[in-house]
Structure 1
Amino acid sequence: MPASAPPPLPLLKRVPPGLWTALVWVAATVQPVVEYVLMPPRQQYSLSHPRDGLDSFTARALLALAFLVVLTGSALLRRRTAPAYGLVLVGTVISSVAWRQNEVLPLPFLAVDVALCYVAATRTRRTAIVAAGGALGVLAGYLVLRWVRGEESGTSSEPFVALTVVIAWLIGNSVHQARAHTAELHARAATQAVTAERLRIARDMHDTVAHSIGIIALQAGAAARVVDTQPARAREAMVTVEHVGRETLTGLRRLLGALRQADREEEPAHGDQGPTGRDRGRAPAPSGPADGLGDLERLAATTTAAGVRVEVWWRGRRRPLPADIDLAAFRIVQEAVTNVVRHSAADRCQVTVDYREDELLVEVVDRGKSSMNTQHIQHIQHTERTAAVGTGFGLVGMRERVALLDGRFTAGPRAGSGFRVAARLPLPTAAGTGPAATTEAR
């Protein structure tokens, strides 16, 4: 069996509800015919099922009609629930008339309880209450009829049967409420998953695009200033703009491709339909490898080429990291470097990645001038204030990434001048066993 195949349903759920109803009714109706009519006479007898109860053609015809009505209702119970339930109830009444009884037959009425339980479990509460009211109304009709005719039959069976009706309704209603609660939990979980995924995509797109646009702006500005005096440098700057732009476009296509692939995977689940002819045979969009600290040197080289020198210091024993920590650390460095490029007058910054035994320390430090650094700080504070209304992503995104990994995040001005962003991400005890790397600087 393929791994994606759902597990088989329990036997009670595999059998259709109409079949359960028919089995209960037929067993309860055939049993007295066999015991009190077909079997040889015994000392035991039944007031509800006398031996001569089916001697007349009318009684047999009514019992056959009751079988036809109940079995038809059982067959239609899933597709036409309300009318089918009415047929089961009417057929049960006809069976008591066939036996010439002035009270309800308790055993065949259990089939009505089974059908009522299904109605209460699958239909609205109003429909279930009406169905239960119909059954109780039939039982009350038997009592009223005997009272009008002045007949006394000892202890009435209707109150006990009415109790089974109430119990059946309560069981079905409980199943209905449990299903509704489960569906609500699933919908809430799906909504939360969609929201979390949107936040993740928003952070990734902001981190990627903001950094690349900052580099493009710097290179384009430099090219514009030297295009007349130093055309070679201007050409080099425009080549860098083209390269960064293509990388950004590739990243955006990768994200959008992943989104389209997720939409195609979710579509059959919502509409219960297979892939259309247009989508059939189309290869899924490649998502590509996720960014990580392995791309840090490339990030530093790109930013340095744009005019802000980035020095990367590796400390500790470099080793493989869990994917979520690796990606979060790279995104934090990328956003911090982007802030240096966009909001600081610093011409260089230092990135430190420290592999410790139980945590990963990521630190980005710049030495921006005091005047420009003030603007940098004001921008950071503005980002924090606007985060509440969903317009800030920089520091808020970094803080969210660190919080999701149970780490610690700090960001603020340094003494004298400059700005410092630091994140401490806890590492699992088994996070990689790669060979040690010597401490290096760039």
Structure 2
Amino acid sequence: MDRALPRAPWLRRLPSGAWTAVSWCAAALFALLLFGSTTYQVALHGPRGAFFTGLWQRAAMAVLLALPVGWARRRPVPVFGVVAAESVLTFALGENTWPLFVAMACLVGHLAAGRPRRTALTAAGGALGLWIAQWAAGSHHGETLGDAVSTVLGMAATIAVPWMIGNSVRQQRRYGQALRDHAADRAVTEERLRIARELHDMVAHSIGVIAIQSGAAGLVLDTQPERVRQALTAIESTSRETLAGLRRMLVSLRQAEAEAPAEGLEGVDRLVERAAGAGLLVEVEWRGRRRPLPPEIDLAAFRIIQESVTNAVRHSGGRRCRVSVEYGTEAVAIEVVDDGRGGTTRGPGFGISGMRERATLLNGQFSAGARPDGGFQVAARIPV
């Protein structure tokens, strides 16, 4: 299944409506190009040189043929197929087809920038083959072999140049995404190493002391009660110090979470109110029989919803967000969908990595990404 790559950060700043306006402006310009080409056809060859001879007929044809381009941003592959079919129909009617191939070349560049390479190469090959076939079906009296080769090479260049530009954009975006993923993975790894070092420094020595003291107490249990008492006192003191250190470390790790007013799914209603104050309408749907969940699952589920809604408020530019929580017999399923700008990452932080980490630590499943119809979707399934 084709999946669009995330846009570059400077492109993600543009609202979704701006991209829609750009698509329809491109469709309008394409309609003018089609109208101008058919008008030139009639002026050059007379009324018999083209199928559509009336002014309004040519205008209606241009608008009708250009209309699918308005959906090229969201549905580039179907639009490419429609434009290819239009070129066949236009050729059969005796009209100029080169404007349609210009549009197909632009769509090839768009596909190369945002779709899998196989899809873009297939589109490029199909456009080139169709163009050559239509050219070969025409009349070429007086043309030499060199003229034919030059024409075919020109057609190939017209398709290849947009593909190379789009592929270059794709590679740059993949490289930027790889850098961001590497930075997120490195941050998680460094945090794990820091926690591991702290635990080792705090626990290893204390457990060693406790093991030695308990072993010594076992050896003199019947002969030297005073030594046993001293060993037990040392074990108690060491244990209390270790517990105090672990408590301080856990408090520092959970400090950000401790500042939140809610500790589980019961805080979703307050989260909805805060999001509404920020301009995002959140609709919550509860499925299944609501019941108490284990604390770690309850907290993880709320944090995933909280981070998703926060990302929607800060980065999506959308107006509506739907939260679905389903209580199953074996797992709790969470889905958060907004209607804003899509993208696999949102902002410079590591929110998506953190949500994935929460789900993975509880043997759950997690996914996040842009939706084909626009917007962003976060889904998680955590066993109970």
- The two structures have a TM-score, normalised by structure 1, of 0.45
- In structure 1, the partner of 2:28 is 23
Answer yes or no: is the 8 Å Cα contact 1:62–1:95 preserved in 2. no
Answer yes or no: is the 8 Å Cα contact 2:71–2:79 preserved in 1. yes
What is the identity, as a one-letter code, of the residue corresponding to 2:138?
R
Answer yes or no: is the 8 Å Cα contact 1:76–1:84 preserved in 2. yes
How far residue 24 of structure 1 moved from its aligned partner, in angstroms, is 3.8
Answer yes or no: is the 8 Å Cα contact 2:47–2:53 preserved in 1. no
What is the identity, as a one-letter code, of the residue corresponding to 2:208?
G
Cα deviation 1:49-97 (Å, max 9, x = unaligned):
x46766858997687466435423x244344432320112222444455
Residues in 2 aligned to 1:96 and 1:33: alpha-carbon distance in whole angstroms? 12
CA gap of 1:152–1:31, structure 2 versus 1, over 3 A, is same
How far residue 206 of structure 1 moved from its aligned partner, in angstroms, is 0.6
- In structure 1, the partner of 2:188 is 194
Residues in 2 aligned to 1:214 and 1:259: alpha-carbon distance in whole angstroms? 33
For the pair 1:71 / 2:76, whether they are aligned, the reply is: no
- In structure 2, the partner of 1:144 is 136
Cα deviation 1:277-320 (Å, max 9, x = unaligned):
79x9xxxxxxxxxxxxxxxxxxxxxxxxxxxxxxxxxxxxxxxx
Superposed, 1:28-427 pairs within 5 Å as: 28-32=33-37, 45-47=43-45, 50=46, 64=60, 67-72=63-68, 74-95=69-90, 97-98=92-93, 100-101=94-95, 104-147=96-139, 160-217=154-211, 220=214, 225=220, 228-229=225-226, 233=230, 236-251=233-248, 253-254=250-251, 257=254, 264=303
CA gap of 1:20–1:164, structure 2 versus 1, over 3 A, is farther
Answer yes or no: is the 8 Å Cα contact 2:101–2:127 preserved in 1. no
CA gap of 1:159–1:70, structure 2 versus 1, over 3 A, is farther
Residues in 1 aligned to 2:305 and 2:189: alpha-carbon distance in whole angstroms? 15
Give the secondary-structure state (helix, strand or coil) at the position aligned to 1:15. Answer: helix
CA gap of 1:95–1:152, structure 2 versus 1, over 3 A, is farther
Larger RCO, structure (CA 8 Å, separation 6 or more): 2
What is the identity, as a one-letter code, of the residue corresponding to 1:117?
G
How far residue 46 of structure 1 moved from its aligned partner, in angstroms, is 3.5
What is the identity, as a one-letter code, of the residue corresponding to 2:133?
G
- The two structures have a TM-score, normalised by structure 2, of 0.51
Residues in 1 aligned to 2:28 and 2:58: alpha-carbon distance in whole angstroms? 19
CA gap of 1:30–1:127, structure 2 versus 1, over 3 A, is same
Q: Which runs of 5+ in 2 are unaligned?
A: 1-8, 259-298, 313-320, 326-331, 335-384
What is the identity, as a one-letter code, of the residue corresponding to 1:89?
A
Q: Which has the larger radius of gyration?
A: 1
How far residue 250 of structure 1 moved from its aligned partner, in angstroms, is 1.6
CA gap of 1:153–1:89, structure 2 versus 1, over 3 A, is farther
Residues in 2 aligned to 1:140 and 1:268: alpha-carbon distance in whole angstroms? 52
Residues in 2 aligned to 1:35 and 1:203: alpha-carbon distance in whole angstroms? 77
Q: Which runs of 5+ in 1 are unaligned?
A: 1-5, 38-44, 281-442
How far residue 200 of structure 1 moved from its aligned partner, in angstroms, is 2.0
CA gap of 1:232–1:191, structure 2 versus 1, over 3 A, is closer
CA gap of 1:129–1:211, structure 2 versus 1, over 3 A, is same
CA gap of 1:53–1:63, structure 2 versus 1, over 3 A, is farther
- In structure 2, the partner of 1:42 is none
- Counting matched residue pairs gives 258
What is the identity, as a one-letter code, of the residue corresponding to 1:27?
L
What is the identity, as a one-letter code, of the residue corresponding to 2:28?
L
What is the identity, as a one-letter code, of the residue corresponding to 2:161?
I
Residues in 2 aligned to 1:11 and 1:151: alpha-carbon distance in whole angstroms? 51
With 11-20 and 183-192 compared, the bigger mean Cα shift is at 11-20
Answer yes or no: is the 8 Å Cα contact 2:39–2:58 preserved in 1. no
CA gap of 1:95–1:61, structure 2 versus 1, over 3 A, is farther
Which structure shows the bigger proportion of residues in helix conformation? 2
RMSD: 4.8
CA gap of 1:197–1:84, structure 2 versus 1, over 3 A, is same
Answer yes or no: is the 8 Å Cα contact 2:209–2:235 preserved in 1. no
Residues in 2 aligned to 1:35 and 1:276: alpha-carbon distance in whole angstroms? 57
Answer yes or no: is the 8 Å Cα contact 1:116–1:169 preserved in 2. yes
Answer yes or no: is the 8 Å Cα contact 2:83–2:100 preserved in 1. no
